[in-house]
Copies of this chain bind each other. A is one copy, B any other.
Amino acid sequence: MKVSIIGTTGYGGGELFRILHHHPVFTVQSVHTTRDETPLSDEFPHLNGITNLKLEPIDTEEIAKHSNIVFIAAPSGVSSKLVPAFMETGIQIIDLSGDLRLTDGEVYRKWYKHEPVESRLVEKAVYGLSEWNKEKIIGAKLIANPGCYPTATLLGLAPVVKAGLIDPNIIIIDAKSGASGAGRSVAKSLLFSEINENFRIYKVNEHQHIPEIEQQLNLWNAEVSPITFNTHLLPITRGIMATIHVKLTENMSTDRLIELYKDQYLRSPFVRIRQKGNFPSVKEVSGSNYCDIGLHVDERTGRLTIVSVIDNLMKGAAGQAVQNANLMNGLNEKTGLEFVPIYP
């Protein structure tokens, strides 16, 4: 099967290329950007000698002629403009932006400060949280690929929220991300000297991933009320950790919760539940599609600490996108994604 990548000069697009280049079923047929036609390896010198593909302008009809799947790794507000034209061609679409994730246009407008896309488009999109939406993803034509923070957060919360084991009014998520999550766009706040040997909080209580998380939590459990979700910038390139603080509604041991999680993710090859007393660090999933989860019940407070880590460019973006493409096409979801984490 042939695939095309749009937005290949960003970090998410580059990571899609890294995965797809060795995928045993998919072949990268073309790479696209809005810029001039240059070899992809001019933008990404690490691809010298690996590919001779040239960046091409975005011609939806041309792309649909030669490819079966298109991955759109463009910024929110941009990708939604491309989707309708692709929809008409019948090509499979995986959109990595936030444009198709929120079912309520007004919510989108409020958090993204852009005009929402038509609701008929959003309705056709399947939210691509691979582990929990598998049935719908299989056979879907249009995927709204989840955000990086929502992926780490939702995989961490799903078992206890679905089972109604926590107080739905007190969900506090303290999230941290590496700088590649901000993309390759140029801004003073993203300069090396501003981030290195630093740590900062940003978009305090205003991150656009909040409604995405709440929408899914409410689908699982309608009683969940607005969450507290804060995001920090780590002086690392890759990696997200969501440290989640919730209140158990009944007495449960760490052991029993770990069992519950292992059970719930029994058929999820990319979710790894840690043993008691063991917590994942972000480097332990770097370069891989894993989401690692650690759990601890604090008996003093009756609160549960959930630690969920992913590589934001992999399970948080390109990796999950390919996982979804696998599912859409009847492949084993692991196909082409079995990277051992790079350590150290």
- Residue numbers of A with Cβ under 8 A of B are 11, 14, 17-18, 21-22, 44-50, 170, 172, 174, 176, 178-180, 184, 186-188, 190-202, 204-205, 225-228, 230, 232, 234-239, 241, 243, 245, 272, 274, 278-288, 290, 292, 294, 296, 298, 300-301, 303, 305, 307, 338, 340-344
Picked from B172, B195, B199, B285, the residue with its CB within 8 Å of the CB of A46 is B285
* Least CB distance, A140 to chain B, in whole angstroms: 28
Q: Is the CB of A226 within 8 A of B11?
A: no
Picked from B228, B296, B340, the residue with its CB within 8 Å of the CB of A298 is B228
A228 to B210, CA, bound (A): 22
Contacts of A46 in B (CB 8 A): 283-286, 288, 340-341, 343
A239 to B195, CA, bound (A): 13
Picked from B172, B237, B280, the residue with its CB within 8 Å of the CB of A344 is B237
Q: Is the CB of B274 within 8 A of A48?
A: yes
This chain's copy number in the assembly: 4
Q: Is the CB of A201 within 8 A of B307?
A: yes
Picked from B192, B243, B341, the residue with its CB within 8 Å of the CB of A237 is B192
Contacts of A199 in B (CB 8 A): 176, 234, 236, 239, 241, 281-283
> Which of the listed residues A179, A188, A201 has the most CB atoms from chain B within 10 Å of its own CB?
A201
Given A198-B236, A205-B296, answer yes or no on A287-B287 (Cβ-Cβ < 8 Å).
yes
Contacts of A188 in B (CB 8 A): 184, 186
Contacts of A286 in B (CB 8 A): 46, 197
A194 to B10, CA, bound (A): 12
